Each structure stands twice: as structure tokens, then as C-alpha cells.
Structure 1
Amino acid sequence: MNIVRGRDKNSDLPAAGRVTDIKTQKRYPSRVSVFIDGEFAFGLSAELCVQYGIRIGEEVDDERLRRILLDEEYKLAENKAWQLLSGRAHSRRELEHKLRRYEFADALIARVLDKLSAAGYLNDLQVARDYVRSRLQVRPMGRKLLLRELQQKGIPDELCEKVLSESFAEESVERELAMQLYAKKKKQLRGQPAHKAREKMARALVARGFSREAIRAVIEDDPDGLFDTTEEHGFTDEHNSLP
């Protein structure tokens, strides 16, 4: 992330020289603008300005500028991470991808993530458990779809398997969730030709990631009698390509 505007357009560092002015920024009072040799050089948090003892009239060399601006970029990356985490919990990989959108250096992102992980603010296992629980509370779905969604959030495969094994410990769990979807869809399907209703229900269950066994159980149970169960339109023959 290019956080400074130096004289050399090919470098992220401003030119070294004498500090000629330090002004509090109007829009962000917690930050200051530092001028070197009469020109704006870079913005900096007031905290770091005090920490590094930057004063008007002193000379600042390249090495000192580099240290100051690396610390400033790290602070910006850390603040952005906290801002993202304040909205909701993130997996480590998910937060990493979001920080990269702001063009922070990979090494700085890794430092921020390591610090947050060590402090317990990044916990992929807990993120996965919370995500699965909240998803199943509002939207019945099968194990396959949940696995895809967890992978999209950057949860490692071994943690995905652990969490899904916990959530679907009993074989009946997925069938019960599939029946919840049946209950939600039945009003839309009532009155339609039985084989059409059965086809639409099967497709809805597949789209929600339910297993073949769970889909078969719903079609065969059919407590509201929506589906044609004759051999001519049998589930096994018509849906032998279901996953």
C-alpha cells in the first residue's frame, strides 16, 4: 500500500531532508501531515509522530523514514483488521484476502494476522462452528453445501470435516433438515402434477446440498402426499443421476 507521496515517483519513500512543518489533519485529527523541505511528504498518526520524536527543524534520513513508514503501514493494516473484525468474526484466510484489497504488503498482513491469532481474535474452528450453527438456524441445507461455503470462507479442510462431523453426528440430522425444506416448499407445490412437484422438490434439495439418501427419504416419506409414487415415475429411475 502506497501510504506516502514522495518526490521520487518510482519509490514509496519521500526524499530525506529537514522537517519544515507538521500539521494536524482537519479530516482526521488523530493524524498529522509532515512536510519536508517545504513540501508535503507523508501522513502519519500523531501517536507515531510523538513516538519517533519528529520535530520541526530536524533532519530525517532515509533509514529513519523507512522505519517510520513501515510502522505506520503496519498500524494502518492493524486498524483495518480491527475494523473488519468489529463487524463480524472472520477466518484467518478471509481476513487476509480482505486486507490484500487495501494493498498492504504481505509481510505486514502476516504480522497482523499472527498477532491477532496469538491474542485469540482469529479462531477458524470457532468461526466455522458459529457459521454452521447460524446457517442451519435460518436456512435448512445439507452437508455438501455447508462444506462448500466453509471452504469459500477459507476454513481449512480438516476443520471443515471436524465441524460438519459434529453438526451431522447423527444420520437423522440431514433427513430432518431436508424435511424442514419440504415443509417450506410444500405450499408452492400443492396442486401441481405429482411428478412435477416431485421433480421440483428433488431439485430444490439437490441445490441445498442434501445427500442422495436424505433426498430419497423426503420423496418416499412425502407426508402431504404431493408426489407420484408409482413405478412409472419412481424416484430411483428418474433421479439416478442425483449426487
Structure 2
Amino acid sequence: MNAERKVTALKVQKRNPNRVNVYLDGEYAFGLSRIVAAWLQVGQVLSEEKICSLQQEETREAAYQRALHYLSFRPRSEAEVRRKLLEKGFDQLLVEEIIERLRAERWLGDSEFARLWTENRTTFRPRSRRLLRFELRQKGVSEDHIEEALHPLAEESELAYEAGIRYARRLTSLQPDVFRKRLTAFLARRGFSYGTIAPVVRRICSEQEMEQPKT
């Protein structure tokens, strides 16, 4: 037979107004987020089953809020969110439920994540398709979503040129041989092959020479 307990007080926590302390039969029982505690009323009688359900709902809400907080800093892949929630101690079934909820609410989706990641990298820190592919794989993105994100990109030589010409502006005071070596090493770090790097470096060096004032 299930024991029943009466809600005798609901007190908003002083340090966290988004949480409520629940008192049953005159004693503190547990804390709940305000969204979970919203339907409770003083004088209400709760069965053990209902108390258990409330606590499960609280865990579910905590996992959801944790995921939203993690996503608030920058877009994340599904694998990143999954890994974060598991690290925080939430069980696998609950984590998958939260992932599905975030997908449904469009907070999460690997197709959009891969597109945003690729666009951001290409705009602010251009790199090779190979390095972009590696980064997205590290984020747990599927090959289909990676291909979809990489498809609209410019040719590899243009990506290398875009990366190289930006970096070259920092090297204008260097001697030509040092300029060439630094630029070549930079493009290699950005994941471009030598076959792509060599003609791009020649192109940039030629443009730099043409811009030098005649003496």
C-alpha cells in the first residue's frame, strides 16, 4: 500500500529563485525547479508513486537545462551534447530522450551544425576540406552530413589562396625566402597538400612582388 504525504510548504530558494523547496508533512523533502513544481499546492496529498514521478521529471528537466546551457555558448554536434550529459551522470535512456527533444525543438541537428561549423571556419579561419572533414568527424558528425556541408565550398586551391593571402599580410616585412617558408608552413598546418600549396604560394609571392614599389 502506497504511503501518502501532504505538501505542507513550498518555499522559493533564496539563492536560486528558479528552484522551490518542497516540504512534506512539515519536513523538507526535496528541491524542484519551478517549472516542475508549478502545479503543486500546499495541502495537496502525494502518493509515493507521484513523488517518484516528480523526482524523475526533475532529473529530466535538469538534463534538458544542462543541454541548453551547453548549447548557449556555440552550436554543438549531437555527439558533443550526448557526451556532455553522460559525463554529468545522466543515464543513457534519458540522454537519448533529451537529444530527441532538442532535435524536435530545432536546438540541435548535425546537418545544421556541420553547415555552421564549415561556414564559420571558412569565413574566419580558412582551411582545407581535409582538415574540415577531420574536425567534423572529431565532433561525431556522420559522413553524409559532412559531405552535405563541404559540397558548396570553393575549390581546394581557392580555399588555400584565401587562407594564404590573409596570413601573407602579416609577413610583408620578411625577406622573400623567409616569406615563402612561413607561408608554406602555415598552409600545411591548415591541412593543405603540397600539390595545392606550391602553386598558391607562387601566386601570392608573384602578387606581392607586383605590389612592391619600383625603385
TM-score range, shorter chain: 0.7 to 0.9
In percent, how many aligned pairs have the same letter?
Answer: 31
The code of the aligned residue for 1:82 comes to: L
The code of the aligned residue for 1:106 comes to: Q
* Correspondence for 2:182 among 200, 209, 215: 200
Change (3 A) 1:178 1:46: closer
Change (3 A) 1:119 1:202: same
Instruction: Give the SS at the match of 2:10.
Output: strand
Distance apart, 1:69 and its partner CA: 0.6
Q: Retained in 2: the 8 A contact 1:22–1:56?
A: no
Q: Retained in 1: the 8 A contact 2:127–2:192?
A: yes
The code of the aligned residue for 2:30 comes to: F
The code of the aligned residue for 1:179 comes to: Y
Q: Give structure 2 stretches of 5+ with no counterpart.
A: 210-215
Q: Retained in 1: the 8 A contact 2:4–2:45?
A: no
Cα deviation 1:58-115 (Å, max 9, x = unaligned): 4642x33321111111112222333333443322112222333432222222111112
Q: Residue 69 of structure 2 aligns with which residue? A: 83
Q: Residue 23 of structure 1 aligns with which residue? A: 11
Q: Retained in 1: the 8 A contact 2:127–2:191?
A: yes
Q: Retained in 2: the 8 A contact 1:16–1:36?
A: no
Q: Retained in 1: the 8 A contact 2:82–2:95?
A: yes
Cα deviation 1:110-140 (Å, max 9, x = unaligned): 1111122123332211221122112211222
The code of the aligned residue for 1:91 comes to: S
Q: Which runs of 4+ in 1 moved over 6 A?
A: none
Instruction: Give the SS at the match of 1:120.
Output: coil
* Separation (CA, whole Å) in 2 of partners of 1:116 and 1:46: 20
Q: Residue 92 of structure 1 aligns with which residue? A: 78
The code of the aligned residue for 1:45 comes to: S
Instruction: Give the SS at the match of 1:166.
Output: coil
User: Is 2:122 the partner of 1:140?
Assistant: no
Give matches, 1:1-243, under 5 Å: 19-36=7-24, 38-51=26-39, 53=40, 55-56=42-43, 58=45, 60-61=47-48, 63-168=49-154, 173-190=155-172, 192=174, 194-221=176-203, 222-223=205-206, 224=208
Distance apart, 1:38 and its partner CA: 5.0
Change (3 A) 1:204 1:50: closer
Distance apart, 1:216 and its partner CA: 2.0
Distance apart, 1:37 and its partner CA: 5.4
Q: Retained in 2: the 8 A contact 1:19–1:60?
A: no
Instruction: Give the SS at the match of 2:15.
Output: coil
Change (3 A) 1:199 1:71: same
* Separation (CA, whole Å) in 2 of partners of 1:185 and 1:125: 30
Residue range with higher mean Cα deviation, 153-162 or 79-88:
79-88
Residue range with higher mean Cα deviation, 192-201 or 205-214:
192-201
Instruction: Give the SS at the match of 1:112.
Output: helix
Change (3 A) 1:57 1:198: closer
> In angstroms, what is the RMSD of aligned CA positions?
3.0
Change (3 A) 1:58 1:180: closer
The code of the aligned residue for 2:136 comes to: L
